[in-house]
Amino acid sequence: MRALAYLIVEMHITDPEQYKQYMAAAPAAVKAYGGEYLVRGGRHEVLEGDWQPHRIALLRFPSYEQAKAFYADHDYANNVKPKREGATEYFNMVLVEGVAAPV
């Protein structure tokens, strides 16, 4: 049994045109580590609590280690991540290990 890993991202985009550059470059970096987008924006609503996210993304990776490797990747850190600098008011990301499931 192995556990998948998930990156949960909450952001507030303030410069949509600049952010499009990040959106165009990020999928290849994610895919290189076996990741995939499950949610990338889209309709959402708060059902309980005070959390008022502007935009949410949810990514799935084959393992916790693969997700960390994606985030630490030299190309992502130096060429992809900078494309969103100044395009968001905030960009919060948390990595969480999922429930172990049979392979």
What span, in angstroms and rounded, lies between the C-alpha atoms of 63 and 20?
A: 28
| SS3 at position 76 | helix
Cα angle: 88, vertex 93, 99; to 5 degrees? 150
How many secondary structure helices (H) and strands (E) does the chain include? Answer: 3, 4
Show the domain range for 12.
2-101
In this predicted structure, the answer to whether residue 1 has a pLDDT above a threshold of 80 is no
Longest C-alpha distance within the chain, in Å?
42
Is there a contact between 85 and 3 (Cβ–Cβ < 8 Å)?
no
pTM of the predicted model, to two decimals?
0.90
Count of domains in the chain? 1
What span, in angstroms and rounded, lies between the C-alpha atoms of 54 and 10?
A: 7
CATH number, domain of 30, equals: 3.30.70.100
In this predicted structure, the answer to whether residue 32 has a pLDDT above a threshold of 80 is yes
pLDDT value of residue 2: 80
